[in-house]
A and B are shown apart, each in its own frame.
Chain A
Amino acid sequence: ETGVTQTPRHLVMGMTNKKSLKCEQHLGHNAMYWYKQSAKKPLELMFVYSLEERVENNSVPSRFSPECPNSSHLFLHLHTLQPEDSALYLCASSQQRYTFTDTQYFGPGTRLTVL
């Protein structure tokens, strides 16, 4: 798991707070992803970045704002969240976004609780 790191590991925030999740990959990959994992539901792909360009946004509410300053770092900025946004947020990276055989490698996740 040292290949993809995420901070913080746990976050509790009120609905009016602003916070950011950070992801860093040490694998030399060109693509990075944000997923949301809720209990007993499939992973939901939120955002995809390829070569620092956002290539996918799966109808995610604007209260989630991603940022990819370089190919090694990915942020998810949070503001005015709702309690239903409480979940495990997973970051992943992969070598090439547009290769079918491409394997994604995941970080440990940030457990977010919105009060």
Chain B
Amino acid sequence: AQSVAQPEDQVNVAEGNPLTVKCTYSVSGNPYLFWYVQYPNRGLQFLLKYITGDNLVKGSYGFEAEFNKSQTSFHLKKPSALVSDSALYFCAVRGNNNDMRFGAGTRLTVKP
């Protein structure tokens, strides 16, 4: 069965600094990887996904994610963080059985 791990419950960065939210996955077969963001009192919003091709995937709001097959990772990145990026971020993987599995989430806080 497929799974994802988000090793950090909390990430704190200063505004203007680069940010990274980590995700590692385990799946049999080809991985299909997703990032979602959840703002307070809101549902999950789709940010980006990796299906195949270029290992660097660009998504909404200036976010990007790097797929690394050898390290089974799919870390979310942004070159310059904004206070408004503060939210809960979820990584998800879909494996060959087509079920989607979400991580427990990482709370990102960007301080002015």
Contacts and interface: CB of A to CB of B under 8 A. Distances in A.
B43 A107 contact: yes
Interface in A63-114: 90, 92, 97-98, 100-109
Q: Is the interface of A mostly helix, strand, loop or mixed?
A: loop
Interface in B6-43: 9, 30, 32, 34, 36, 41-43
Interface residues of B, number: 23
Interface in B74-110: 90, 94, 98-105
A105 B102 contact: no
B49 A106 contact: no
Interface residues of A, number: 23
Interface of A: 1, 4, 6, 40-43, 45, 56, 90, 92, 97-98, 100-109
Interface of B: 9, 30, 32, 34, 36, 41-46, 49, 51, 90, 94, 98-105
